[in-house]
């Protein structure tokens, strides 16, 4: 397999991240229904990009580009990739992006019902997860890993990382539901807001533990230490962004229209959440790739 596949997978993951930013801008600008059409906007492929149509139609154009890139990636993998499960994942990614496009259309046609909009935002993160995973699986580090490391003791890095991934996914779902339950001119529902804050605490504890344990045990193993460090730093940034986003968002209902800093902070919070997820996925996949559990040591470990 060539470097080209990995580079292309990285390109698709990067484009997907940009798509998440574009989608976050649609929600923050309250632009989701700037046109009642789908897939065309006001009956046109290239409408005049004024007002909030810039964000809504711009999002559709970026999404179309990501869709085309995903088709190309699936075909590229089919042709150049030897591992059948990676080829299969390429097709799964294509299915994901198609489903995501249909959900996007459905939420417009149904006037943004909470369940469909939140599902659209959640699937966006799952699709991003898939593209990041494809980038990891096609990397040289994955194909030619360093010698397997034996994990001793009771603090399983692999398990902690996996739990952190699940916790982040749940938190992303919570964030999506919270975000789509009130537009910029409405106050956020207190119950959901509290749940999202509780989720942030949970993620901080779980991911923080995973990062600390990884760095404590494998600080010299750059293959694990780098994504762990990245996840830790992004987590801190995300928590700080969460606080300032909350303050800006609580002030926005009395603004004449969605304004900065609310828009930029909220978009940054969504984007950073995706990056935290990506870093944790990379860490988790790598941990499962190189770490081997020494069950004997676990059983015989002194009390």
Partner 1 sequence: MLSKRTRLWLGLIVAISLLSLASSCGGPKTETNENEGPSGKAFASKGDEGTISGKISYTGAAPEAKKIDTSADAACTAKSPNLMTEEWVVKDGKLANTFVYVKDGTLADNTKVGDYTFATPSTAAVLDQNGCHYRPHVLGVMVNQNISITNSDPTTHNIHFTPKNNPDWNQSQPNGAAPLTHKLARAEVLVPVKCNQHPWMKSYVGVLKHPFFAVSGEDGSFAIKNVPAGKYTVVAWHEGGTAGTERTMEVTVPAKGAATADFTFGGTAALRGQPSSLPMMSAIEFPMIGKH
Q: Which of 7, 48, 140, 143 binds partner 1 (CB under 8 A)?
A: 48
Question: DSSP strand E in the chain: where?
Answer: 149-151, 291-293
**How many angstroms separate the first and last alpha carbons of the chain?**
47
Closest distance to partner 1 from the beta carbon of 297 (Å) = 15
Neighbours of 112 (CB within 10 A): 17
With 0-12 CB in 10 A as exposed, 13-18 as middle and 19+ as buried, what is 50? exposed
191 binds partner 1 (CB under 8 A): yes
Please, which residue, 54 or 142, has the CB nearer to partner 1? 54
Q: What angle do CA 231, 236, 240 make, to 5 degrees?
A: 140
Range in contact with partner 1 (rule: CB under 8 A) among 59-67, 81-89, 164-172, 212-220 = 164-172
Contacting partner 1 within 87-116 (CB under 8 A): 111, 114-115
295 binds partner 1 (CB under 8 A): no
Q: Which of 21, 106, 192, 233 binds partner 1 (CB under 8 A)?
A: 192
3-state secondary structure of 148: coil
Q: Which of 163, 225, 233, 244 binds partner 1 (CB under 8 A)?
A: 163
Distance of CA 265 to the CA centre of its chain: 17
Range in contact with partner 1 (rule: CB under 8 A) among 75-83, 140-148, 248-256, 267-275 = 248-256
Q: In this structure, are residues 195 and 170 in contact, taking their beta carbons and an 8 Å threshold?
A: no
Q: In this structure, are residues 49 and 58 in contact, taking their beta carbons and an 8 Å threshold?
A: yes
Please, which residue, 150 or 194, has the CB nearer to partner 1? 194
What is the C-alpha to C-alpha distance for residues 125 and 185, in angstroms, rounded to an integer? 26
**DSSP designation for 41:** B
289 binds partner 1 (CB under 8 A): no
Please, which residue, 78 or 257, has the CB nearer to partner 1? 257
What does residue 156 show for φ and ψ, rounded to 5 degrees?
A: -80, 115
Structure tokens at 98: 């198609």
Please, which residue, 10 or 192, has the CB nearer to partner 1? 192
Report cis status (omega within 30 of 0) of the bond before 39: yes
Range in contact with partner 1 (rule: CB under 8 A) among 75-83, 127-135, 186-194, 270-278 = 186-194
Q: Which of 6, 15, 16, 32 binds partner 1 (CB under 8 A)?
A: 32
3-state secondary structure of 181: coil
Q: Which of 4, 39, 51, 153 binds partner 1 (CB under 8 A)?
A: 51
167 binds partner 1 (CB under 8 A): yes
Please, which residue, 35 or 100, has the CB nearer to partner 1? 35
Range in contact with partner 1 (rule: CB under 8 A) among 6-14, 92-100, 188-196, 225-233 = 188-196
Contacts of 90 (CB under 8 A, 6+ apart): 73, 74, 76, 77, 78, 81, 134
Binding site for partner 1 (CB under 8 A): 29-37, 42, 47-48, 50-54, 56, 111, 114-115, 118, 154, 156, 159, 163, 166-167, 170-171, 173-174, 177, 181-182, 184, 186-195, 197-199, 202, 206, 247, 250-251, 253-259
């Amino acid at each position: 397999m060539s470097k080209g596949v990995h580079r292309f997978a990285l390109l698709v993951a990067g484009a997907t991240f940009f798509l998440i930013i574009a989608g976050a801008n649609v929600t923050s600008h309250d632009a989701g229904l700037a046109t009642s059409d789908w897939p065309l906007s006001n009956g046109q492929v290239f409408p005049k990009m004024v007002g909030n149509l810039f964000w809504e139609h711009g999002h559709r154009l970026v999404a179309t580009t990501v869709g085309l890139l995903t088709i190309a990636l699936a075909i590229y993998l089919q042709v150049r990739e030897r591992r059948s499960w990676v080829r299969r994942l390429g097709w799964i990614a294509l299915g994901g992006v198609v489903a995501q496009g249909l959900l996007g259309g459905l939420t417009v046609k149904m006037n943004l019902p909470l369940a469909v909009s939140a599902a659209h935002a959640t699937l966006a993160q799952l699709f991003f997860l898939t593209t990041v995973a494809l980038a990891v699986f096609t990397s040289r580090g994955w194909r030619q890993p360093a010698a397997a490391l034996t994990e001793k003791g009771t603090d399983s890095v692999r398990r902690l990382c996996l739990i952190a991934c699940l916790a982040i996914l749940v938190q992303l779902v919570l964030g999506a539901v919270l975000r789509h339950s009130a537009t910029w001119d409405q106050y956020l529902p207190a119950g959901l807001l509290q749940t999202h804050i509780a989720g942030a605490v949970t993620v901080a504890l779980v991911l923080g533990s995973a990062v600390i344990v990884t760095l404590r045990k494998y600080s010299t193993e750059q293959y694990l230490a780098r994504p762990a460090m990245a996840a830790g730093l992004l987590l801190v940034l995300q928590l700080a962004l969460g606080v300032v986003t909350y303050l800006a968002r609580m002030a926005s209902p009395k603004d004449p229209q969605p304004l900065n800093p609310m828009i930029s902070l909220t978009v940054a919070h969504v984007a950073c959440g995706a990056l935290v997820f990506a870093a944790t996925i990379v860490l988790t996949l790598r941990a499962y790739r190189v770490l081997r559990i020494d069950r004997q040591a676990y059983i015989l470990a002194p009390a």
